[in-house]
Structure 1
Amino acid sequence: MTGTEEHRFTRCAAGIVGLALLVIPLVCWATGAPNPLAAPGDTSGRSLAFLAQPTANLVMAGCGLLIAAAAVLRSTAVRVAALGAFALLLDAGALAAIGYLPFMVFSAVTGNADNLAAYLSIPLLMQVAMGVAAAGLLWTLVDRPVPGGAGAHERARVRTARWTAVAVIAPLVYAATRVLMVLDVPGFAVPMDATGKAAGLGLALAAIGGAVLTWGLVRPWGERWPRWMPRVAGREVPTDLPVVAALSVSVLVMAAAKAILGLVSTTSSELSAHAWAWTPMLLWPLWSVSLALAALNYRTRRTTSPQREAAAA
């Protein structure tokens, strides 16, 4: 896809999500149904739960109107404001759904597929759609021609390595705490049954998998597909593929970080009772920013030539 086609797709996604966010609260207001993002009983519908239902409907409609406008207008200011609207509406639901996916798949394979029904939750589907649209809108802001030759290439190489290291360490620290919780290590022990421990191991595996994929930003297989992969083995990895994927995860991590910081600001008893288990999650804002910066510098490194300035000289 060309850059123009990619931007058309991302603007279309933002437009559809914006219209949905505008229509849903109107339907809720007309029918008396609860706002799906102001539903304290649903783990994916809490982002507006601090508001009364009429206010939540009004805020969601306003955000939807702003996001739809960002899909139509080419104004950078409007798109930045729309990203702010997404920041308000997104919560930890989408990232949690990804994190629990290994456990859910394992449960389904072992005959307990009922847990998969949680993935059909309307608030969760809205969170996933908003995450995709937010990442796409962010991409329209950062997808610009990258000037420079050998100097820009070398700076990007160093910065990619630096930010990738941070973006790898953060999820690995989180994974380690989940393993320690499962093993009931003193200081990390949290009351959990066998199902809870299996879910904890699944979260650790998901975090480790994310760290490995992030590591690819500085590895050869992050530029060319590994030999063991059928059909694409040895071919060049499209530059934008890991960049868009990393930006998408960065958006979801930051949304989840908002919920964690909210726990800290309210001095949650759960947080204080199991500080060593939950404190590593305070790294998530840093994880989000470092992942985004690693991806953008990876793109600069891939799209600048180390020989360009030398040839010009």
Structure 2
Amino acid sequence: MTATEEHRFSRWAAGTVGLALLAIPLVCWAVGAPNPLAAPGTSSGRTLAFLPQPAAHLVMIACGALIIAAAVVRGERIGTAVRIAALGAFALLLDSGALAAIGYLPFMVVSAVTGHVDKLAAYLSVPLLMQLAMAVAAASLLWTVVARQAPGGAVAHELARARTARWTKIAMIAPLVYAATRFLMVLDVPGFAVPMDAVDKGAGLGLAVAATGGAVLTWGLIRPWGERWPRWMPRVAGREVPVNFPVVAALSVSVLVMTAAKEILSIAAVPGSALSAAPMAWLPMLLWPLWSVALALAALNYRARRTTTPQPAAV
């Protein structure tokens, strides 16, 4: 995908999501339905719940208009400024719901296999689908702001390789530490034990598995199977992994982690919160801002490494 195609995808994603953010509150307003990001009783997408319904509609419309502007405004300086402002709008609207949905997916799949298919209905909720769409659009906008055409040559390639290795290793620390704490919570290890029933322990185990899987996928940024599909994968085995596939995925997760970190930091500032009640279990989540930044930098340097020329082999 060329730089022009990357910007085209970013404009398409931002424009589509921006139009949805304009249309949804207008429809809700017309039929008297609650705003999906301020609806009572929802577990995901409650970022505007502190506002009365009319104000929530207006805020979403304003954010949608700004995001549409980011999709259509051209020019280097003003375009970058509008995209940065649109990222601020996404930061306001995004919450931890999408990241939680990804984390709980292993538990939900096991629940479905064991006959509790109804639990998967949560993944079809409008707020959650909005969160996922906004995360992808925000990641694509972030890409156009921070990504620049990497200089060519072997030196640039080796520099990108070194940076990818460094930031990838840092980005793996937070999810692995988080996974370890969830395993310890499930095992009721002193210092990590919190009141949990069997369902809670199953969900905690699922979170640990998901976090470990995320760390393994991050590792792929510096492994051969992060450039060519492994042999055990049908149809694509041995083919080159599209450069932008892991980059978009990593940037999307980076955005989700940062929005979740926003909530974690706000909870940590409240005396008597869950973090203070069980600090060993929750303190690792304070690493999430670092995780988000490291993952984004690892992805961008992976892209630079894949799009520059390696050092020729010695003869």
Same fold (TM over 0.5): yes
| Correspondence for 2:58 | 58
Deviation at 1:269, TM superposition (A): 2.4
Secondary structure at the aligned position of 1:235 is classed as: coil
Deviation at 1:151, TM superposition (A): 2.1
Q: 1:62-81 residue pairs with structure 2 within 5 A?
A: 62-74=62-74, 75-81=79-85
| Correspondence for 1:12 | 12
Deviation at 1:10, TM superposition (A): 2.8
**2:155 is aligned with 1:151:** yes
TM-score by length of 2: 0.93
Tell me the amino acid that sits aligned with residue 197 of structure 1: K
Deviation at 1:132, TM superposition (A): 1.4
Secondary structure at the aligned position of 1:38 is classed as: coil
Secondary structure at the aligned position of 2:196 is classed as: coil
TM-score by length of 1: 0.93
Post-superposition, which runs of at least 4 consecutive aligned residues in structure 1 deviate over 6 A? none
How many residues of Structure 1 are paired with residues of Structure 2 in the alignment?
309
Q: Which moved more, 1:107-116 or 1:256-265?
A: 256-265
Deviation at 1:38, TM superposition (A): 1.7
| Correspondence for 1:222 | 226
Give the 3 Å change call, closer, same or farther, for CA 29–268 of structure 1 in structure 2. Answer: farther
Deviation at 1:156, TM superposition (A): 1.4
Q: Give the Cα separation in 1 of the matches to 2:16 and 2:300.
A: 26
| Correspondence for 1:291 | 295
**2:252 is aligned with 1:248:** yes
Say if 2:45 and 2:94, in contact at 8 Å, map to a contact too: no
Q: Which of residues 141, 162, 181 in structure 1 aligns to 2:185?
A: 181
Q: Give the Cα separation in 2 of the matches to 1:268 and 1:70.
A: 41
**2:306 is aligned with 1:306:** no
Q: Give the Cα separation in 2 of the matches to 1:248 and 1:267.
A: 32
Q: Give the Cα separation in 1 of the matches to 2:244 and 2:5.
A: 13
- How big is each residue's C-alpha offset from its partner over 1:123-159, in whole Å with a ceiling of 9 and x where there is no partner? 1111111111111222233443211322222221111
| Correspondence for 1:168 | 172
Identity over the aligned pairs, expressed in percent?
79
Deviation at 1:35, TM superposition (A): 1.7
Q: Give the Cα separation in 2 of the matches to 1:96 and 1:298.
A: 26
Secondary structure at the aligned position of 2:152 is classed as: coil
Segments of 5+ residues of structure 2 without an aligned counterpart are none
Q: Which moved more, 1:190-199 or 1:138-147?
A: 138-147
- How big is each residue's C-alpha offset from its partner over 1:167-192, in whole Å with a ceiling of 9 and x where there is no partner? 11110000001101100111111111
Give the 3 Å change call, closer, same or farther, for CA 180–40 of structure 1 in structure 2. Answer: farther
Q: CA RMSD in A?
A: 1.7
Q: Which moved more, 1:25-34 or 1:209-218?
A: 25-34
Q: Give the Cα separation in 1 of the matches to 2:48 and 2:242.
A: 38
Q: Give the Cα separation in 2 of the matches to 1:244 and 1:145.
A: 16
Give the 3 Å change call, closer, same or farther, for CA 290–78 of structure 1 in structure 2. Answer: same
